[in-house]
Structure 1
Amino acid sequence: MPRFEFLHNGRERVAIPAVPRLAITLVALERSSLSRAELAAHLWPEVPERQRARRLRTLLWRINRLLPDTPVLKVSEGHVILVEQSEDIDLHAAWDLAQALVRQAISKQEVLNSPPERWAPLKSIVLDGESDEQSFSVQQEWNHLRLLALDSLSQMLLAGERILLAIEMAESAIKVDPLSESPYRTITSAFIHRSDNATAWRVYQDYSKFVEAELGLMPSFEYQDIVSRMKA
């Protein structure tokens, strides 16, 4: 999931050149289909429409010659779609998992009963090494969504006394956005739960110094209250 990877027959990795790779990525991320005009506009925004259409015809021909026995994209009623089913796209599964956590569509009991490996996709970046505008937009959206999902997940794990895993997921959220306070609160609360007040206080102090240096702010009253109750 971190990088674009095309697997032939689900096993053999196939190297895809940059422009065909972007076209396949754009269609794959759309889940259903993308009109020929939309795809061409994404690929060559500065090129006149008629020239874009000619380029797209050539590109689709090139893509479907990468694997002569296995077409990758097909055109149907003016729309470009993947030949393979979208279940083969791991980003879709990760996206659905993150959204389910954010919507609280996964029960606390299911979270507690799930193996840690289930949450591994939430710790992963996407489309690493891709520098086009569309990939950057997907990266930004994914990071925002997985930050919320990791935060929600860590809180449910903490409430279910899965302390170490809660800390791990909160630390993963911090890697996404080091300025987000909520994961630090979860980690502080987790160490308090373990009666490790010294580490809890250090986590709070580290965040307090960091957010003051970066933003000129103090931790929220909610975070301060957690620490004050620990010291009492």
Structure 2
Amino acid sequence: MGEGGRSGVELVLLGGFELVDGGERVALPRAAQRLLAFLAVRDGAAVNRNAAAERLWPESRRQRAAANLRQALWHVRRSTAAPAVETPVDHLRLAPALPVDFRGALEAAHHVVGASGHPAPEGLVDALSRDLLPDWTEDWLAPERQRWEQVRLHALEAIAQRLITAGAHLAALEAAFTAIGIDPVRESAHRTVIAAHLAQGNAGSALRHYQHYRALLHRELGVRPSPHMTRLVAAQGTP
């Protein structure tokens, strides 16, 4: 998803936390990691120091949370030659020049969804397959994970549709199945798989996938596929 800037410094949040400097992983205590991640998912917006401390350490008293924040900042400042965090009066923000894979993937995904006809950047499907800090349990991550899930699902389906149009059916199927791996009952992703099979002339594969999805929906949710999906395969045989 692109090269790191600032002499090779990059912050990785997709699939797990890493701060990389010159190709080497920088060791940071968990509190410093949490601070960097908290600022990174805010799209460059500055955060009030007290608000940041309270969100990052909600179970601590205000003074203890503020002390934790100061200690985390100290570790972050020592981690790289160029500052990773800027500290305007009473606020904190991630240095704008620090590349973050999550931000880059979000921007690329929005571009793919919004700009018809443009190919996906190399490595985007792989980035979209990765969860945002999957092993973390912080409450402040929940809305960001929900946003990331919806953005990447829409992007993967858009990529798959363009690949179908281009005749790249295997790559289209891989993108669609990546979306299904994120949300196994998402109908639009399954419709994309069926569309890719039909574009290849594989009506039998399309029907088998429809039947598999119908059984999955019945087992998991007790519902049937939409009429839209049923019509998609109806001309190929009896669903």
Hey, what's the Cα distance between the residues in 2 that align with 1:20 and 1:146?
A: 27
Shift of 1:66: 4.1
Question: Aligned letter for 1:132?
Answer: E
Measured against aligned partners, the alpha-carbon deviations of 1:64-92 in whole angstroms (never above 9, x if no partner) come to: 2345x454323111111234614x11111
Are 1:202 and 2:208 counterparts? yes
Question: Aligned letter for 1:219?
Answer: P
Hey, what's the Cα distance between the residues in 1 that align with 2:226 and 2:212?
A: 14
Residue 101 of structure 1, aligned match among 112, 120, 141: 112
Are 1:54 and 2:67 counterparts? yes
Hey, what's the Cα distance between the residues in 2 that align with 1:143 and 1:182?
A: 14
- Counting only pairs closer than 5 Å after superposition, residues 100-139 of structure 1 correspond to structure 2 as 100-102=111-113, 104=114, 106-108=115-117, 110-111=118-119, 117-139=123-145
Give 2:10's aligned residue.
Answer: none
Give 1:41's aligned residue.
Answer: 54
Question: Aligned letter for 1:29?
Answer: V
Hey, what's the Cα distance between the residues in 1 that align with 2:230 and 2:146?
A: 30
Seen in structure 2, the aligned counterparts of structure 1 residues 225 and 49 have a Cα distance that, compared at 3 Å, is same
Give 1:211's aligned residue.
Answer: 217
Do 2:160 and 2:176's aligned partners in 1 also have CA atoms closer than 8 Å? Answer: yes
Greater fraction helix = 1
1:30 aligns to what SS in structure 2? Answer: coil
Seen in structure 2, the aligned counterparts of structure 1 residues 70 and 115 have a Cα distance that, compared at 3 Å, is closer
Q: When the two structures are superposed, what TM-score results if normalisation uses the length of structure 2?
A: 0.84
Shift of 1:115: 6.4
2:235 aligns to what SS in structure 1? Answer: helix
Question: Aligned letter for 1:22?
Answer: R
Measured against aligned partners, the alpha-carbon deviations of 1:23-49 in whole angstroms (never above 9, x if no partner) come to: 111112223222212210111123333
1:179 aligns to what SS in structure 2? Answer: coil
Residue-pair matches, total: 224
Question: Aligned letter for 1:7?
Answer: V
Q: When the two structures are superposed, what TM-score results if normalisation uses the length of structure 1?
A: 0.86
What RMSD over aligned residues (CA atoms) do the two structures have, in Å? 2.1
Give 1:64's aligned residue.
Answer: 77
Select the structure with the greater relative contact order (CA < 8 A; seq sep ≥ 6): 2
Shift of 1:178: 0.3
Moved more, 57-66 or 146-155: 57-66
Hey, what's the Cα distance between the residues in 2 that align with 1:43 and 1:174?
A: 33
Moved more, 50-59 or 89-98: 50-59
Measured against aligned partners, the alpha-carbon deviations of 1:136-178 in whole angstroms (never above 9, x if no partner) come to: 4423321222112112221232233322221111111100100
Question: Aligned letter for 1:117?
Answer: G
Hey, what's the Cα distance between the residues in 1 that align with 2:69 and 2:130?
A: 32
